Structure 1
């Protein structure tokens, strides 16, 4: 089915709390833990622990109000800037950032990050450390040439992007344009850490069905090459759940380094 039959996340918006509960929660019956939580966190932790990505500034451009992909990253970068498409998602993130009543409970993922790092007794410190590293949460707009305009950000040493390129791109041309806009925010020599769904055409949040551009591993690797990203690492995890909430076949983790 093409994108005309599904809503577009960045155009129509979504129920951000329902999205978190369905795909990223610790609730009984949440079947996506291996693919949406464990695999991305393990891959980010593993790659950053190799010391191949260094610097001060991390930019995160991801779907919805997720933050679990940043727990390990905050250990390696002093400053984090989060870019999101929806005001509701930004409000959700600010609620967590300032530890307000009703903030989403990410303790299951801070615990997982602490286990990855071998510091199981420092769960609160993990959340406090991530909070202290977040310097800005900004709205982005990929319809603009400069996606953070009127705010001008310094170039990032590393960009983490989870489940967004295929969600906001209606076709191959848009995917390439959106990828180029992301790497414009990256320093020469910096790395893009991308987590992407393989062969997905839709996903559901709340009562709404949303578009995803169907792309496979070879397409993403070729796209990296076309925009001048040298692939340093990639891994694929085949889908480990049964659910009609989404139809992806696998999850891809790929790291590309921008040319000097």
Structure 2
């Protein structure tokens, strides 16, 4: 979260459309997406603490909820993940642990990166946060397989898809959990040039 706060507080990002790609696997989460009831309180609280504005939590929670204009389900089996008539191409695309979760192998990873990058205008940023060397994650007691992403794969495939990386940070895992087995993570920002 600190890395996202720093990235967005630089003033480098301009525009009105931010697309956030998250994986919602449980039926509870899908119901929340359908009703617009997805809870952002934990994210808002953490963002306010990082920004040193924890006393402004309620105001910022309201601003965040008003800023979310569309929640759209996507189908990774289709070439066009979402109907671009529903939302405009994004000025910034944030991908948080999605590519490895929805991909079975490297070919699938490349196809899904290509599909997600279609949601983004040229000349603007994609921000990717993902675990490295992860093989599974757990949600409500259910184990899900992931593509074992490695840092050289992500970097080379971004370049192959027309992105120029302008920030790359790998950090080691600091705590153990049975919920996932990643050994490190990457925070990457890149500009879509073509």
TM-score, normalised with respect to structure 1: 0.69
Q: 1:207 offset after TM fit, Å?
A: 2.7
RMSD in angstroms over aligned alpha carbons?
Answer: 2.0
Q: 1:86 offset after TM fit, Å?
A: 7.1
Q: 1:183 offset after TM fit, Å?
A: 0.7
- Name the residue aligned to 2:32: 92
For the pair 1:196 / 2:130, whether they are aligned, the reply is: yes
Give distance in 2, aligned partners of 1:139 and 1:107: 21
Give distance in 2, aligned partners of 1:87 and 1:258: 34
Q: 1:108 offset after TM fit, Å?
A: 3.9
Question: Which one of 142, 145, 153 corresponds to residue 79 of structure 2?
Answer: 145
Q: 1:232 offset after TM fit, Å?
A: 1.2
Cα deviation per residue 1:36-85 (whole Å; 9 max; x = unaligned)?
A: xxxxx111111111222211100111122xxxxxxxxxxxxxxxxxxxx7
Query: Against the structure 1 CA distance between its residues 87 and 190, is the aligned structure 2 distance closer, same or farther, given a 3 Å change threshold?
Result: farther
Contact 1:90–1:137 (CA under 8 A) maintained in structure 2: no
Give distance in 1, aligned partners of 2:63 and 2:2: 18
Q: 1:234 offset after TM fit, Å?
A: 1.7
Give distance in 2, aligned partners of 1:109 and 1:146: 29
Q: 1:250 offset after TM fit, Å?
A: 1.0
Contact 2:26–2:139 (CA under 8 A) maintained in structure 1: no
Q: Which runs of 4+ in 1 moved over 3 A?
A: 85-88, 106-109, 149-152
Query: Against the structure 1 CA distance between its residues 54 and 225, is the aligned structure 2 distance closer, same or farther, given a 3 Å change threshold?
Result: same
Contact 1:90–1:138 (CA under 8 A) maintained in structure 2: no
TM-score, normalised with respect to structure 2: 0.91
